[in-house]
Structures are given as structure tokens and as C-alpha cells.
Amino acid sequence: MTRGLFISFEGIDGAGKSTHIERVAHLFQQTGRAVVLSREPGGTPLSEKLRELVLHEPMDPLTEALLMFAARREHLVQVIEPALARGDVVLCDRFTDATFAYQGGGRGFDWQVLAQLERMVQAQPDGTLRQPELTLWFDLDPHIAAQRLASARVPDKFESQPADFFAAVRAGYARRQNEMPHRFARIDAAQAMDAVGADVDRVVADWLKRNTP
């Protein structure tokens, strides 16, 4: 049977990752793979309810981190693990790196506590941690991201944060990449959309070449 694949997409708000998730979905569908597209926080009815709360209600930083991981646990158990067991390709718009970047980097919440929650929530029966095998990090200067967002929709709790918050989120992503370089691919999201798309295609193709027996 074909092995399941878990790929996540990350970056500060305004980095433009969402367009490219569709692109990667097409890439895999063209090769006949079943693709599950999902997002965090969210991805199950309960997790989407938690998303509404966490993106719009002010709350204590630990409460915020716990709700992110509670939503993630449901998403893993109900959607991600079954899809991977079927051999599907799971493409997730944000995963745990976003918690380290936003709650850890942006909010300054304790990195080690997040690591404990990660171990608790993502533990597999064999003791290993469930992680995306490949993470595309769309990296962009927060000032450019803010300009791109200014013309977009009504901002949520995170999108309305100032540029220095996003500088700290960006630093959080960089720290995560340093800790787990084997699964991170940094994409320069300041380029024109077509060039970013070409980089995405190349990263995914290279990764598949290295990881397909």
C-alpha cells in the first residue's frame, strides 16, 4: 500500500501560503494520490468551534496554548491519523510549528511548556512523535506582510497585532527550523507569486525524489 504523507504549510499572516496549498494538492492529485486538505486550528467540527473562540476571544496565554493543542488533538485523532493510515496525502494549513511561532515567539509563552504539550498530544503508540514530514515555511518580512494584509479582510485577533509581534513570530519559526532542520524548507515569500509557486514545486519534487523508495 502507498505510504501516507503529512505536509504542513506555515508562515506569518500575509505570507500567502494558502494559494500554494491548492497547487500542491493538484500536484499530488495528478499522480493519482488521494489528498486531504485541512487546517489548524480547525479540521473537525469541534476543532472549528475552538478556532472561533481562540481567534476572536481575548484569553490567558496558557488557555490559548491549551485550546490550540486541544483542537490539534481532535484533528489528529479524527482526521490526520486515519488519513495517513489509508495512505493519503495530508496537506495542513498550519500545525504545531504555528503554536511555537505564535504562542511561543509572538506571545512569549514558555517554549518548554509547549514542547511538553506537543509530546503529550502528538505521541504515537510506538513512543515517537507525530510530525509533518515536510514543512513549507513561507518566510516574509513582517512589513511586506502587513502591506499585503492591509487591503484584505477584517483582521482576527492575531492579524491585528503590530509588526513587532510578527517579527517575533518569524523568529519563532526560525528557531523551530533550527531545532528540526531535516523537515523544514524555507521558501522566500517576498518573490512574485509565480516564482514562489516554482520554488514550491521544486521543493516538493526534490523531497519526493529523496523520500520515495
What's the CA gap between 112 and 131, in Å, rounded?
17
Q: Is 110 in the site for ligand TYD (CB under 6 A)?
A: no
Q: Is 102 in the site for ligand TYD (CB under 6 A)?
A: yes
Q: Is 111 in the site for ligand TYD (CB under 6 A)?
A: no
Q: Would you say 99 or 135 has its CB closer to ligand TYD?
A: 99
Q: Is 184 in the site for ligand TYD (CB under 6 A)?
A: no
Q: How far is the CB of 109 from ligand TYD (least distance, A)?
A: 10
> Which of 137, 196, 201 has its CA nearest to residue 171?
137
Number of residues that bind ligand TYD (CB under 6 A): 15
What's the CA gap between 122 and 137, in Å, rounded?
20
Q: Would you say 68 or 140 has its CB closer to ligand TYD?
A: 68
Q: Is 137 in the site for ligand TYD (CB under 6 A)?
A: no
In the stretch 38-77, what mask flags binding to ligand TYD with x, by CB under 6 A? -xxx-------------x------------x---------
The number of C-alpha atoms within 13 Å of 135 and in the hemisphere containing its C-beta is 22
What's the CA gap between 102 and 108, in Å, rounded?
8
Q: Site residues (CB under 6 A) for ligand TYD? A: 13, 18, 39-41, 55, 68, 93-94, 98-99, 102-103, 158-159
